[in-house]
């Protein structure tokens, strides 16, 4: 009898609390989203937030991979920059395949421009490679090599380095920068109400078949549709495939919650997340600050990673690294091992 009682108790074990680790400082884009979600999850689960900032948002996921994930009360929140670093940077030591998805919002990035300028002055910062490639596609058109896209980008875009996120937003408001990009929550907070700014394009919502759908919050500005309207053909080819690879790794898992593979409390987290999503008050609060975006829950999040792996080809990686280095001046590594994962 005592053995049966202990077995029943162990089968209904609950974590006392969870810590969501944000890879950025308080107030930054990922931390804003984490705070929003944690605040609503508190109605169903004991959760707090730990801010773990560092260069290019890498210390947190690296530490999670090497140490923190083995504490079952710890969950990591990843952002789009983490997705880009996973593809391009040797210093990214984490592997999504070693983690299990709790849930993620299938999000987008919105690229805005000032209404009072035709010049393109855009700030360099971690996570902006897909935006630069999207700009190159729209400006330069079809049937070009990565070298030609690089030259065209340099000829048409002033790429400003060395600015903090706060400095970028201030310069965009002043008109010193004419183009900027934000995740949905930050767009609502910093751009949407400004009469001097408008949406230029967005990258779309990744679908299970690998295609992009228009964003219901910003209909009519999907990059592929604008490209087709301007150039008379759909985007395709090596450079577009490189863009699609890095865009998808950034955007579709840019706000995602993970635990260690086979974490015994994962189901508890998933259940709480589902309750939050189906709570009308929580849903309203989240949509007010983030927009209306679908959630990808549990194993469907793991499947999202499998979809992303389909975009990893030798040609796509080669052109991506070349453009990142030569057009954007970013340290990038050809990570050939990604072809085998």
Contact 23, 92 (CB under 8 A): no
Over residues 206-254, the pLDDT tens digits come to 998 989 999 999 999 999 999 999 999 999 999 999 999 999 999 999 9
Q: Is the pLDDT of residue 5 over 60?
A: no
Contact 317, 72 (CB under 8 A): no
In angstroms, how far is CA 6 from the centroid of its own chain? 43
What are the residues facing 19 on neighbouring strands? 48, 74
301: its two tokens: 């999040």
Secondary structure (H, E, C), 281-304: HHHHHHHHHHCCCCEEECHHHHHH
Confidence of residue 14 (pLDDT cuts 50, 70, 90): low
Q: Is the pLDDT of residue 15 over 80?
A: no
Over residues 91-136, the pLDDT tens digits come to 999 999 999 999 999 999 999 999 999 999 999 987 899 999 999 9
Strands of the sheet containing 179-182, edge to edge, are 158-160, 121-123, 179-182, 110-114, 197-202
Contact 320, 88 (CB under 8 A): yes
d(CA 146, CA 150): 6
Given 3.40.190.150, 3.40.30.10, 3.20.20.370, 2.70.210.12, which CATH number is that of 2-107+252-309? 3.40.190.150
Task: Give 143-191 as a DSSP string.
Answer: S--HHHHHHHHHHH-EEE-S--HHHHHHHHHHTSS-EEEE-HHHHHHHT
Confidence of residue 317 (pLDDT cuts 50, 70, 90): very high
Query: Domain map of the chain by residue range?
Result: 2-107+252-309, 116-249+315-340
171: its two tokens: 């310069």
| Residue 2 pLDDT | 38
0.85 cut: is pTM over it? yes
Confidence of residue 27 (pLDDT cuts 50, 70, 90): confident
Residue 278 neighbours by CB distance under 10 Å = 9
């Amino acid at each position: 009898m005592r053995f049966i009682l202990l077995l029943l108790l162990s089968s209904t074990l609950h974590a006392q609390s969870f810590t969501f680790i944000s890879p950025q400082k308080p107030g930054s884009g990922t931390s804003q989203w984490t705070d929003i979600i944690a605040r609503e999850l508190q109605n169903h689960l004991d959760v707090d937030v730990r801010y773990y900032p560092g260069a290019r948002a890498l210390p947190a996921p690296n530490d999670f991979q090497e140490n923190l994930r083995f504490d079952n009360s710890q969950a990591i929140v990843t952002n789009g920059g983490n997705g880009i670093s996973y593809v391009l940077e040797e210093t990214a030591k984490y592997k999504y395949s070693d983690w299990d998805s709790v849930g993620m919002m299938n999000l987008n990035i919105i690229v805005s421009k000032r209404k009072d300028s035709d010049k393109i002055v855009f700030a360099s910062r971690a996570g902006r490679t897909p935006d630069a490639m999207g700009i190159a596609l729209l400006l330069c058109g079809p049937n070009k090599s990565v070298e030609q896209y690089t030259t065209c980008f340099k000829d048409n875009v002033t790429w400003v380095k060395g600015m903090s996120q706060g400095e970028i937003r201030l310069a965009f408001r002043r008109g010193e920068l004419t183009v900027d990009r934000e995740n949905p929550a930050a767009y609502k907070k910093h751009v949407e109400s400004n009469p001097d700014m408008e949406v230029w394009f967005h990258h779309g919502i990744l679908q299970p078949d690998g295609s992009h759908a228009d964003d219901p919050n910003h209909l009519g500005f999907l990059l592929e549709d604008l490209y087709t309207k301007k150039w008379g053909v759909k985007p395709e080819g090596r450079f577009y495939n490189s863009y699609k690879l890095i865009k998808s790794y950034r955007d579709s898992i840019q706000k995602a919650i993970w635990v260690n593979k086979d974490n015994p409390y994962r189901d508890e987290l998933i259940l709480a997340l589902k309750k939050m999503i189906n709570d009308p008050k929580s849903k309203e609060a989240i949509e007010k600050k983030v927009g209306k975006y679908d959630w990808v829950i549990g194993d469907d999040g793991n499947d999202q990673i499998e979809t992303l792996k389909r975009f990893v080809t030798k040609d796509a990686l080669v052109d991506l690294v070349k453009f990142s280095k030569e057009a954007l001046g970013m340290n990038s590594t050809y990570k050939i091992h990604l072809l085998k994962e």
